[in-house]
Structure 1
């Protein structure tokens, strides 16, 4: 494949990695049911996968986790270091932590096998797997890898007590988001005068583990959001997968409401739903940020925050893994600043220090 765009006249060459000969045959047959996909080779363990990625240079790799000699996570780490290639994880591993770790290491997407490691019913997730393999060709891995974090210098002097209503920082992300959010939250100070609300498009059984991973690395307290939970400054709340998250006021306090309503922008949770509620509740003391991701979720949310007098930021093309969500917001004209991911944390803090937030 000579182009990373979804050109239907171009064949996507795929390396299938799984320790089961049966699963390799099933995955190959499923992928090649799409005329745009060709499986050019297979591998039975991580060590073989690393070597084949180097020698045959596939466009995309599908990668299992539990394998002999070298597991999928170690193989993923070595592939990203040695021969960066878009990887879609395809695994029966039930531990969400492993899936989240794969996304942090640079996997584009994670597709769970429906019935464990040996899933003869893989056809149930066939459309999802094919679409994510195609999506992987859009990923700019040089940009994805630039988000790797080295030693972090102090972000700023202590903010101290700030007068006025606390800020609400609303952040939306999709493909490439786990790494981008990890970078962002590691750099925001513990005394940030804001509550942070996060929508990351992710399956329902992954988000709690994802929040725990963020909590281990962030000066802020990070947790998966719960219905009726009070929203507090210095904490970050990750929307659970499969359900919308909004904020509202109850007895004078901001609380989280989880809403099992229809998908918005074909996703649930939706950044738009969360951001619109933030704009309505917190007005000019709202800040919206759209990070890397496919689609247009978050554009309407930023529009509402901007209309309420708040501030809006979007990740730039050069540092985005996929420039879909930021681009949609920018093209609507609702973004106050377009920034590289590396500049985003300081810009957020500076804005909160300098902008006047009124009741």
Structure 2
């Protein structure tokens, strides 16, 4: 049996979640009403996994999480509202060591549990078997000093990337007969990254290792709700030398820029007169997870020679991206799978390795260095 500690100040939420996991048949459930009580139950009950609410009296969820990860690290799943404010707090929690998040039941809670229940149980089961990272706050260890740009130069570079995409937006809104002929952007290649459970800290680690003048654009499909990907992009943009933007409209690809797919939709690569473009696309039912890694890679293969593509598949449950990245490698492209030793969940990268689609397997803190060598032709 998996020992689960549910931490929430709402008696109704505790009861509904308790009933849900007890009915699943493989959980032994205990409860805590706030962070202080959770720390006491941690020592008494010794849970395998914890669901942790953010807003509680006496000790809030973030303070409790930080103490758990310092004193007795174990998998924690945050219970989050699907709002932008909830996203900001949840991303902070993941930087502190939380494995994943689930939607906080609200409104007509009991009516929503039938719909949310299977996903909640799957996420908590997966988290219970998750591997905690070898080093807490790993991204802080892999900041690179090699980019050599002042803060002012970095801001200027990011501003130029935004000007390019603002120009593309104006072009999309201009009737074709009135459009000037755009200068086509020629790129040496494109990096495609896919991740899911445990992805935000992995993205922190990889993207902070890329210099501002990284010569290829990077497209990222991170499984997340729509309200989370904007805050994720803004957070990464503040941490990284490369420019990071959410793709909520067509954006011409530029070197040194990372494009985060908007949640609950898909990210695809297309072609415009000005060059390759990152596009948001409505989610397709045949793809289980969104933004879909398989759909992103397949769209790239439709417009770019596989030899000019690098695929990176990192932590996440399931198999999204494994088939498409295997095809990418078979076409002459290169692929990296995150190593089992650092992946929170070795589902997606493990499937790529099992399919024979990985050129190399690397710990997350080595992936940025591998990318730098690959784009340099080494």
Same fold (TM over 0.5): yes
**Which residue of 48, 59, 62 maps to 1:70?**
59
RMSD (Å), alpha carbons: 2.1
Aligned CA distance change for structure 1 residues 204 and 328 (closer, same or farther; 3 Å): same
Gapped regions of structure 1 (runs ≥ 5)? 1-10, 159-163
Greater shift, 72-81 or 100-109, is seen at: 100-109
**Which residue of 324, 331, 348 maps to 1:325?**
348
Alignment map for 1:1-359 (pairs within 5 Å): 11-39=1-29, 41-92=30-81, 94=83, 95=85, 96-115=87-106, 119-121=109-111, 123=113, 124-143=115-134, 145=136, 147=138, 149-150=140-141, 152-155=143-146, 165-283=187-305, 284-354=307-377
CA distance in structure 2 between the aligned counterparts of 1:262 and 1:144, rounded to whole angstroms:
37
Greater shift, 134-143 or 214-223, is seen at: 134-143
Deviation at 1:142, TM superposition (A): 4.5
Deviation at 1:264, TM superposition (A): 4.6
Deviation at 1:150, TM superposition (A): 3.0
Question: Number of aligned pairs?
Answer: 338
Q: Deviations over 1:253-283 (max 9, x none)?
A: 1112222142455112111111122233222
Deviation at 1:70, TM superposition (A): 1.2
CA distance in structure 2 between the aligned counterparts of 1:143 and 1:133, rounded to whole angstroms:
21
Deviation at 1:23, TM superposition (A): 2.3
Runs of 4+ in 1 over 6 A off after TM superposition: none
The 3-state SS of whatever aligns with 2:227 is coil
Gapped regions of structure 2 (runs ≥ 5)? 150-185
Query: So what's the TM-score if we normalise by structure 1?
Result: 0.88
CA distance in structure 2 between the aligned counterparts of 1:171 and 1:43, rounded to whole angstroms:
38
CA distance in structure 1 between the aligned counterparts of 2:187 and 2:70, rounded to whole angstroms:
45
The 3-state SS of whatever aligns with 2:343 is coil
Q: Deviations over 1:184-231 (max 9, x none)?
A: 111111110010100111112111111111111010110111332111
The 3-state SS of whatever aligns with 2:304 is helix
CA distance in structure 1 between the aligned counterparts of 2:135 and 2:298, rounded to whole angstroms:
29
Structure number with higher helix proportion:
2
Q: Deviations over 1:113-132 (max 9, x none)?
A: 2326x945452422222121
The 3-state SS of whatever aligns with 1:205 is helix
The 3-state SS of whatever aligns with 2:204 is helix
